[in-house]
């Protein structure tokens, strides 16, 4: 295997570990029973959900998931 293949493999393993940590760090969907009353959207945290810790974790998780899928396809194509 070439050096590039080792580099991509190491990146793939790091992304896998990061995804596991990020998914476990996120809170569940059943958090915040105030959503039943519809009051979550009217609060500061409801309006700025994308800027909060949960919003950032979600964006990073989606980005790393896309990179994971792309690297999976590239590694399985045996280009190296």
Encode pLDDT of 40-58 as tens digits: 555 555 556 667 888 889 9
So what's the pLDDT on residue 64? 95
So what's the pLDDT on residue 50? 61
Number of domains in the chain: 1
Cα torsion through 45, 29, 22, 53, rounded to 10: 0
Q: Is residue 66 part of a domain?
A: yes
**Residue 32 in this model has a pLDDT that exceeds 60:** no
So what's the pLDDT on residue 20? 95
Counting residues of the chain whose pLDDT is more than 90, the rounded percentage is 44
Q: Is residue 62 part of a domain?
A: yes
Give residue 62's domain range. Answer: 52-79
Q: Is residue 30 part of a domain?
A: no
Cβ neighbours for 27, distance < 8 A, ≥ 6 positions apart: 54
Residue 42 contacts residue 7 (beta carbons within 8 Å): no
DSSP state of 35: G
Q: Is the pTM of this model over 0.85?
A: no
């Amino acid at each position: 295997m070439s050096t590039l293949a080792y580099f991509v493999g190491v990146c793939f393993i790091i992304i896998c570990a990061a995804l596991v940590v990020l998914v476990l760090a996120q809170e569940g969907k059943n958090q915040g029973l105030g959503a039943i009353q519809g009051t979550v959207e009217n609060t500061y945290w409801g309006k700025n959900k994308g800027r909060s810790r949960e919003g950032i974790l979600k964006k990073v998780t989606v980005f790393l998931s896309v990179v994971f899928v792309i690297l999976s396809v590239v590694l399985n194509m045996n280009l190296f």
